[in-house]
Structure 1
Amino acid sequence: MPVLSDAKVRALKPKEKPYKQADFDGLFLLVNPGGSKLWRCKYRWMGKEKLLSFGKYPDLSLKQARAQRDDARKLLAEPQFPSRPPWLC
């Protein structure tokens, strides 16, 4: 049940302090005071909260950010640490 749409993401305006706009399954957009919008995803690994950074909007679209989130969730289900560099796996 997606919360964000491309139109909603484009319409988000910076505020005095950074704020998060949630999508679903841990994906959110961090909107900074300078106007940058960064895709992030929260997840838990071995009982600890972790954070993945996917990229900057509009370089990375909502659809692409969701796809990266889904890929990370697949790794967690295996279980593999999604932010570990491939050469360490």
Structure 2
Amino acid sequence: MPVLSDAKFRALKPKERPYKQADFDGLFVLVNPGGPKLWRFKYRWAGKEKLVSFGKCPDLSLKQARDKRDKARKMLTEGRDPSFERKKEQATMEAEQRATFSKLADALLEK
């Protein structure tokens, strides 16, 4: 059952030290002093505790963070590590960007 509501979430104010406010199923918001609120998901993989960050508020709403948590939990049930999958996706995107830049440079040199 959800612990956070939109009203409770908006009411979270920075304190002198960073603190966490849990939602449920491993999702929590990290409230930093003077900084953004960060959505994070804590889980266990191969006997080790792991953490994946989903994004900062208000860029990511409570509903969006819960959707990302649900996708990550589905990956876990399928035997995949959400952190590894995210790193693999980022590496693929970086490689595509480099390839696009390379193609552009080649096209400019040919002219």
Identify whether the pair has TM-score above 0.5, normalized to the shorter chain: yes
Partner of 1:45: 45
SS of the aligned residue for 1:58 comes to coil
Residue 83 of structure 1, CA deviation: 1.4
**Greater relative CO (CA pairs within 8 A, separation 6+):** 1
5+ residue gaps, structure 2, are: 93-111
Instruction: Give per-residue Cα distances to partners, 1:62-82, cap 9 Å, x unaligned.
Output: 000000000000000010011
Is the CA contact 1:13–1:35 (under 8 Å) kept in the aligned structure 2? no
Runs of 4+ in 1 over 6 A off after TM superposition: none
Partner of 1:78: 78
Pick the structure with more strand per residue.
Answer: 1
In 2: Cα distance, 1:10 partner to 1:35 partner: 15
Partner of 1:63: 63
Partner of 1:20: 20
Question: How large is the RMSD of aligned CA atoms in angstroms?
Answer: 0.9
Larger-gyration structure (1/2): 2
Count of residue pairs the alignment pairs up: 87
5+ residue gaps, structure 1, are: none
Pick the structure with more helix per residue.
Answer: 2
TM-score by length of 1: 0.94
TM-score by length of 2: 0.76
Instruction: Give per-residue Cα distances to partners, 1:22-67, cap 9 Å, x unaligned.
Output: 0000000000001410000100000000001000111100000000
